[in-house]
């Protein structure tokens, strides 16, 4: 198998970046579990929320 990018981890972050990169490169996602999002991603109530730098720095 030929690949350009290897993503380690099949949680929400790994799968998301793998999906986006797949439009431009050959991507392989490595995950130890038989299905994706089975650890903390699958049981989390947390959300990814974009935060701008000025919000954190008070600019």
- One DSSP character per residue, 18-34 reads HHHHTTTS-EEEE-SSS
What is the arithmetic mean of pLDDT over 12-39?
90
Quote the CA–CA distance of 38 and 44 in Å, as a whole number.
10
Confidence of residue 38 (pLDDT cuts 50, 70, 90): confident
What is the model's pTM?
A: 0.64
Q: CB-based contacts of 27: which residues, under 8 Å, 6+ apart?
A: 3, 4, 5, 6, 7, 18, 21
Mean pLDDT for all residues in the chain:
81
Give the residue among 37, 38, 15, 23 at the shortest CA–CA distance from 4.
23
For the chain, the maximum distance between any two Cα atoms, rounded to a whole number of angstroms, is 47
Confidence of residue 22 (pLDDT cuts 50, 70, 90): very high
pLDDT at 53 over 80: no
pLDDT at 48: 62
């Amino acid at each position: 198998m030929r690949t350009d990018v290897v993503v380690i981890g099949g949680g929400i972050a790994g799968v998301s970046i793998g999906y986006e990169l797949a439009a431009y490169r050959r991507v392989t996602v490595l995950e130890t579990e038989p299905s994706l999002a089975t650890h903390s991603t699958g049981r989390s109530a947390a959300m990814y929320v974009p935060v701008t730098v000025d919000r954190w720095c008070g600019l």
